[in-house]
Amino acid sequence: MGKKILVTGGGSGLGQSMARKFAELGATVIVCGRTLEKLQGTVDSIQKDFSQKAHAMVCDVRKPDEIEKMLDQIWSTGPLHGLVNNAAGNFLSRFEDLSPNAVDSVLNIVLHGTSYMTLACGKRWIAAGDPGHVLNIVTTYATTGSAYVVPSAMAKAGVLAMTRSLAVEWGPKKIRLNAVAPGPFPTKGAWEKLVPNPQLEKVWMKRIPVGRLGEHEELANLASFLLSDYAAYIQGEVITIDGAESLKGAGQFSFLGDYMGEKDWDAMKAKKPAK
């Protein structure tokens, strides 16, 4: 790969998995977040498993001054080639139970943090005339909304709108922007907050046509492709990776697969169509 890539929220979960895959493919990886111990764990695993350069940098994406300070350090050794906006926050709640601070806790990380980081990197690429790649991690409900995770739906929809808008505005400046919309990919900590009991997980599994949850390497492979030169003509796109979960929910009659067995379908076939 030979590129320098920054992954926000790279200390755990999908951010860590993507960072490890980029390093495995030859990229120099920088992971940032608020907890040095987590970030260092990612860096140590990369250096141990792939003997590849990796760096941990503490940065709160909600704070533009910390972003500027970090990017000045990164650019001091050469420009960044790719940015993965992965840092996020989410939890289940009825909207009427939330406080303004609870809403802001998600919006500030996901929407504001992503826009601050993208803006700061974009200004540097544009000033130097350098190409740049931005990959935003959104969700399958960024286009539809979703009950019980309303702040996340609001924030991710905004990030997707930014992705598509800047793909046009910054395309002539050699900056590519795309998004990935993951379905259910279990991550330690976050998964328990969103799927708080085994019964709910069983219901969720029935919603996924391929019959399983996503594996981190599958998303990391997709992210690696989108950041690579092989995807140079892909611009302003959001690619869903969810085992067709969102398609099953969108189809008006898709729920029949959970309730009609072979006997039911045989009975349907036996009925003659009305003339």
Structure tokens given for 140: 């399958």
**How deeply is 20 buried, as exposed, middle or buried, from its count of CB atoms within 10 A (0-12, 13-18, 19+)?**
buried
Q: Is 230 a catalytic residue?
A: no
Tell me phi and psi for residue 149, to 5 degrees.
Answer: -135, 45
Concatenated DSSP letters of 127-173: HHT--EEEEEE--GGGTT--TT-HHHHHHHHHHHHHHHHHHHHSGGG
Rounded to whole angstroms, the Cα distance separating 262 from 100 reads: 50
Type of residue numbered 187? T
Asked if 140 and 239 touch (Cβ cutoff 8 Å), the reply is: no
Rounded to whole angstroms, the Cα distance separating 226 from 220 reads: 10
**Which residue out of 141, 148, 233, 259 is catalytically annotated?**
141
Catalytic machinery residues: 141
